[in-house]
Amino acid sequence: MGTYKRAKPFTIDVPQLARKIREGDRGALAKGITLLESVSPTHRPHGEALLRELLPYSGGAKRIGITGVPGAGKSTFLEAFGLRLAEKDHRVAVLAVDPTSTRSGGSILGDKTRMELLAHHPNAFIRPSPTGGTLGGVQRRTREVTLLCEAAGFDVIFVETVGVGQSEVVARDLVDVFLYFVLTGAGDELQGMKKGIMELADVLIVHKADGENESKAARSKHAFERIVHDIQPVTEGWPPRVMTLSSQTGMGMEELEQTIDEFFTVTKESGVHEQVRKEQQRHWFHQALIQRLHDWLNEDAQLRELQTSMQVDVLKKEKTVPEAVDTLFQAFLQQVHTQIDKR
């Protein structure tokens, strides 16, 4: 006869973990994030309780979005600019949004390698994108991790978009100010128009403005200035700025820091900062509600199957959309009824 070990029930002292996170314990922060990122139903309630504990201490950081064309040098910039801030006693966290990521544990090493100096600075914390899941899921988790980092005392949080397409839209909804990195070069003046991402930017940065690139960068800056002139500002009362920058020589770094400070001064005075954050929270609430319905529909095999067959019927013109939805919704209600009866 064999013996077997009963799985140890998962227990965690949430108030203690919360306290340690607030005290700046990095191991505790990492543990808390892992809890929030976990898809295990055992972990989830603990993650939510932790969020609850730390909520009153969140909200204090400058949340800065970083996006840009591939090869625009976002990591090099984050390393240089992040170190600059960390040296000035800012506490800097770097989070990534990358829905295409299939990277596992090794990704941490990857991210830490590409920002090696920053990764080892006592004032900095680098966290790679949670792996797998939908873009909505990645967004939710990044949002929650932001709150945790704020409670842990980080006052500057970079949210870097590594993915393509929709991930910029998702990242925009997580931050206060959005920096868009472009490169100089023939025809590149309009590269930013793709997908309308340029319209989400508060600051457009012509990067790698050094060496023989410097004069080209200045020309690109003027071209972009003409373009953004006609764009409706994404942040009310802040017409987008265009800047040249070099992470190699440090040119433009001081100006960028001042520009970001100015952004927060202007938007806080006008009330736009508060207003945008409220809007983001409303949006989050709405999304979370829809997610709940989806979860319910997809957790049950029967409902999942019905969903597929209804979609097929619609495509085959055998059912109208209202009919198909009605059938699915009635099955959903019946399912709810049965489940609650069982409780």
Cα→Cα distances 198→90, 95, 193, 201, 228, Å:
28, 21, 6, 5, 8
Q: Identify the residue among 2, 56, 106, 122 touching a second copy (CB under 8 A).
A: 56
Q: Identify the residue among 288, 298, 304, 309 touching a second copy (CB under 8 A).
A: 288
What string marks each residue from 195 to 214 as x (binds a second copy by CB under 8 A) or -?
A: xx--x---------------
186 is a contact residue toward a second copy (CB under 8 A): no
Instruction: Output 121 or 216, the one with its CB closest to a second copy.
Output: 216
Q: Retrieve residue 305's tokens.
A: 């199957």
Residue 57, Cβ neighbours under 10 Å: how many? 16
314 is a contact residue toward a second copy (CB under 8 A): yes
Listed ranges 9-17, 65-73, 216-224, 289-297: which one lies at the site for a second copy (CB under 8 A): 289-297
Instruction: Output 7 or 186, the one with its CB closest to a second copy.
Output: 186
312 is a contact residue toward a second copy (CB under 8 A): no
| CA angle (266, 272, 274) in 5-degree steps | 110
Q: Which of residues 221-250 bind a second copy (CB under 8 A)?
A: 226-227, 229-232
304 is a contact residue toward a second copy (CB under 8 A): no
To a second copy, the closest distance from the beta carbon of 35 in angstroms equals: 13
For helices 272-299 and 321-342, the axis angle rounded to 10 degrees is 80
50: amino acid identity, one letter: L
278 is a contact residue toward a second copy (CB under 8 A): yes
187 is a contact residue toward a second copy (CB under 8 A): yes
320 is a contact residue toward a second copy (CB under 8 A): yes
Q: Identify the residue among 39, 109, 218, 325 touching a second copy (CB under 8 A).
A: 325
Residue 330, Cβ neighbours under 10 Å: how many? 11
| 127: β partners | 95
The three-class DSSP label of residue 43 is coil
To a second copy, the closest distance from the beta carbon of 262 in angstroms equals: 25
To a second copy, the closest distance from the beta carbon of 311 in angstroms equals: 6
- Is the dihedral angle over the CA atoms 21, 26, 27, 29 positive or is it negative? positive
329 is a contact residue toward a second copy (CB under 8 A): yes
108 is a contact residue toward a second copy (CB under 8 A): no
Characterize the bridge pairing of strands 156-161 and 92-97: parallel
Q: Report, in angstroms and rounded to the nearest whole number, the Rg of the chain calculated over CA atoms.
A: 23
Strand order in the sheet with 124-127: 124-127, 92-97, 156-161, 62-68, 177-182, 203-206, 241-244
Burial of 156 (0-12, 13-18, 19+ CB in 10 A): buried
Listed ranges 4-12, 77-85, 124-132, 284-292: which one lies at the site for a second copy (CB under 8 A): 284-292
Q: Which residues, 6 or more positions from 14, have their beta carbon under 8 angstroms from its beta carbon?
A: 46, 49, 50, 53
Residues binding a second copy: what is the number (CB under 8 A)? Answer: 53
Interface contacts to a second copy, rule CB under 8 A: 48, 51-52, 55-56, 58-59, 187, 190-191, 193-196, 199, 226-227, 229-232, 278, 281-282, 284-285, 288-290, 292-293, 297, 310-311, 314-315, 317, 319-326, 328-329, 333-334, 336-337, 340-341
